[in-house]
Each structure stands twice: as structure tokens, then as C-alpha cells.
Amino acid sequence: MVFKIFHAKKVNQYKYIPDPNPVFPFCNVPDFLNEPLYECLLKYSETYGDVTLFWIFSQPNILITSPELLEKVLVT
């Protein structure tokens, strides 16, 4: 909640992309400390779908796991 207050403008830009709830001030960083990065990102993909938003501090990151969607992003 605190994160969403401080970064309301950024959060609103991505509000339609599913994401694990970011916890201020580290956001999703603690998730990456508990297990290897690839396992954490795989869990995100399985839980939130082919397009997932995650936050590293105040930096939004979008994970795309669908080859078809990735092709659309890279081509257009």
C-alpha cells in the first residue's frame, strides 16, 4: 500500500498487468533472495500468466513468457 501511494503515477500505468504485490521499499526483491532467479520468474509466470509485472525497488519490469507475445513486442 505504501509503495502504491509513493509511486501512484507509475503504478497506474501498469494497473492492468497482473503482479505480485510489491512491498515498500524493496518491492519484489525479497522474492529473488529466497530462491534462484529463474525459479522465481517461473513461479510468477505460472501464477500471473504470460505477461507479469514485477518491481525491483521503484523500477517496473515486465516478464513475457509467451513466444507469440514476445514476437509481437519485438516486431512492432
Mean pLDDT in residue range 29-33:
90
pLDDT at 6: 63
51 in Cβ contact with 69 (< 8 Å) = yes
Question: In this model, does residue 11 exceed pLDDT 80?
Answer: no
14 pLDDT tier (thresholds 50, 70, 90): confident
Domain ranges of the chain: 2-75
Does this model's pTM top 0.95? My answer is no
More reliable by pLDDT, 33 or 10: 33
